Amino acid sequence: MDSLFSQLCVLGSSLVLIFGLILLWRRGVTAYISAFTWQSIVLSAVAVVVAYFGNDHELYWVGACLLLLKGLVIPRLLKRMERRFAAERELDPYVNTATSLVVSGLLVLFGYAITRPLVALSQLPTRAGMPLAMGLVLVSLFVVISRKKALTQVVGFLMLENGLALLAVLGTYGIPLIVELGVFLDVLMGFLVMQIFIYQIHETFESIDVEQLNRLRH
């Protein structure tokens, strides 16, 4: 029972991380969005699995919210933006794909290294997935650094949040629901504000290429 639970968790977390890594070799905003969508869906599935095996009913709600927010609402909004800025679909990252993958691999390894004490401390069957969650956090940071479009940066940021959510689910079966709801609200609000700014950037700069945002210096 426990072994099935932990295998499912590792499988889920691996999938979540892999969807993160897929981003690195795919080009085009559409691919980014779908990778993020699938990642969110898997994440909510992991939450449901943990809820079932861990016997924690709050987590069903968390899973549902995740699915609704990150699996449906946000991808829709993202797609709408993507259609709006259709002319800028081509991506041109700072770092090429091969290097990106190498760096990400190293980051995941680093994630393993620093989560050693966590894994050692925890008694939960879900603990084996924690290094993967940490790896995703680091990889998402790398995505945000190395991608040029404002839209892709937002996707990277959302993945970072997925990583942290995964960490919470696996490490502690989720933080208290009331807090979690507040976090979801914040995520939604933050995303909406970012969306507003992306439109503003597009209006004032006539492009969403972040590279142009360099008039404020020193």
Distance from C-alpha of 36 to C-alpha of 75, rounded to nearest angstrom: 8
What minimum distance in Å lies between the beta carbon of 55 and another protein? 11
Binding mask 101-120 toward another protein (x if CB under 8 A, else -) reads ---------x--xx-xxx--
Which long-range CB contacts under 8 A does 113-122 form with residues at least 24 apart?
118/171, 122/171
Q: Of these, 72, 73, 86, 185, which contacts another protein (CB under 8 A)?
A: 185
What minimum distance in Å lies between the beta carbon of 137 and another protein? 7
123 in contact with another protein (CB under 8 A): yes
Structure tokens at 141: 């940071």
Which of 153-178 are b and which e, b meaning 16 or more Cβ less than 10 Å from the residue's Cβ?
Answer: bbbbbbbbbbbbbbbbbbbebbbeee
Q: Of these, 88, 128, 144, 207, which contacts another protein (CB under 8 A)?
A: 144
How many Cα neighbours within 13 Å face the side chain of 37? 14
- Choose between 15 and 138: whose C-beta lies nearer to another protein: 138
Q: How many residues does the chain have?
A: 218
- Choose between 67 and 168: whose C-beta lies nearer to another protein: 168
CA 179, 184, 189, 194 torsion: positive or negative?
Answer: positive
Enumerate binding residues for another protein (CB under 8 A): 94, 110, 113-114, 116-118, 121-123, 137-138, 141-142, 144-146, 148, 150, 153, 157, 160-161, 164, 167-168, 171-173, 175-176, 179, 182-183, 185-186, 189-190, 193-194, 196-197, 200-201, 204-205, 210-211, 213-218
